[in-house]
Amino acid sequence: MVKEILKQSDDKMNKAVEVVRLEFVKIRTGKATTALLDGIRVDAYGTAMSLQQVANLSTPDAHTITITPWDKGMIGPIDKAIQASNLGLNPVADGTVIRVPIPPLTEERRKELVKLIKKFAEEGKIAVRNVRRDGIEHLKKSEKAEHFSEDERKRGETEVQKMTDRHIADIDSLVGLKEKEIMEV
């Protein structure tokens, strides 16, 4: 029973760290990456589809993303979807391909992005701590139901705390890497 609770807690903490990692990928660093466009939905054939479902994305250089739609009639909807995404990108369509230039970041914008990163990181840490709290509560309830001893519960609580510390350290290392990436571009 203790192992099961620990496994559930570890899985939930891993998911919280993964959410932070995915949020960081979406933050623009001045380098072109197709991940910037992951959340964009295009109105295609009467339904909202992800950009990857209607076009091929590539990065020919560090400052440009090219989008080659499989259906040339999709250029207009793709262009509109990128402009409506609030990413601050201005696509340029030339008839067959859409080029999305990635503008360089100003010092002020870099500092704003670092603040945003720290906000996402804090939300991730809060999620990890909530999982810790839930795991410890679950251990206490299970002990009261006499599934295991007080010593096992205490060992479980210690293990949950170690997991928490490890996952928070993972989030801190992600913050350090992303902050370095933003400030050095």
Complete domains list, the chain, with CATH: 2-26+106-184 (1.10.132.20), 34-101 (3.30.1360.40)
Average pLDDT over residues 91-120: 86
User: Which residues make beta-bridge pairs with 66?
Assistant: 58, 99
- 118-153 tens-digit pLDDT: 999 999 999 999 999 999 999 888 888 877 788 888
Distance CA 8, CA 3 (A): 9
What span, in angstroms and rounded, lies between the C-alpha atoms of 75 and 69? 7
pLDDT in tens, 21-56: 988 887 767 677 787 788 788 988 888 888 888 999
**Measured between alpha carbons, how far is residue 112 from residues 33, 117, 183 in Å?**
20, 9, 11
Q: Among positive and negative, which fits the CA dihedral 130, 126, 156, 174? A: positive
